[in-house]
Structure 1
Amino acid sequence: MLKLPNTITGLVAHPLSGDAVLQQEIVAEQASSLGHAGRRAALALERLAGDDGTDAERARRLLQAAADAVHSYFIQRELCGFRGHEAVIRDLAIPARVLARLGAR
């Protein structure tokens, strides 16, 4: 009969410490916050892309909202340890005018 290794069957014998449980909770919250920030940025970028540009004030507000959402997403990514944003910029098709609002060149 095949016996499973202790690391699989011995969960009761090796319970997680309070610190390990806390670390798992922190990582779960970071992942949740990152997902929320990413969805918020994508939605703001969709709204900006869908604007017809006939109302200048509305276009300005949409641009600022997109820049704020992308900025928040970048900060959340950095808090999670992700330093480069090039892939996100490409994947979300973040326009240069949004990046310019963030001070990117």
Structure 2
Amino acid sequence: MSLRPPSHLAGASAEAAFDALGHEILAEKAAALGRAGQRVEKTLARLRENGGDEHRPQLLRDAAEAVHGYFIQRELCGLRKHDAVIREYNIPKAVLARLGAK
């Protein structure tokens, strides 16, 4: 399937318009990745601070959901390997186990 610009954008301006759109998409992907990373940091901090009490199962669920979303957003950005981020965020094995990791 080929993609054609609208007729009013024909010529050199069409290329500039698509480049601007591509730039906008990349910027939104990066912003979404940043927001997902912040969510991971917050949920992991809550887990570390309150992980020993009766709220632990819910905190683990919240952290696993945030990490899962972050991994998906990374993959949408073309970043397929998560080993470095797991170390960087110090993601507990209990959270990774909820994602199916061994």
Which runs of 5 or more residues in structure 1 are unaligned?
A: 1-13
Is the partner of 2:50 in helix, strand or coil? coil
Query: Identity rate of aligned residues, in percent?
Result: 51
Tell me if the contact between 2:47 and 2:60 (Cα under 8 Å) persists in the aligned partners. yes
CA RMSD of aligned residues (A): 1.4
User: How many residues matched?
Assistant: 90
Equivalent residue, structure 2, for 1:63: 60
Equivalent residue, structure 2, for 1:36: 35
1:76 aligns with 2:73: yes
Tell me if the contact between 2:43 and 2:66 (Cα under 8 Å) persists in the aligned partners. yes
* Cα deviation 1:19-47 (Å, max 9, x = unaligned): 10000000000000000000001110010
Distance 1:54 1:86, change over 3 A: same
The alpha carbon displacement at 1:17 in A equals 1.0
The alpha carbon displacement at 1:54 in A equals 2.6
TM-score normalized by the length of structure 2:
0.84
The alpha carbon displacement at 1:72 in A equals 0.1
Equivalent residue, structure 2, for 1:22: 21
Distance 1:51 1:91 in 2: 21
Equivalent residue, structure 1, for 2:94: 97
Equivalent residue, structure 1, for 2:7: none
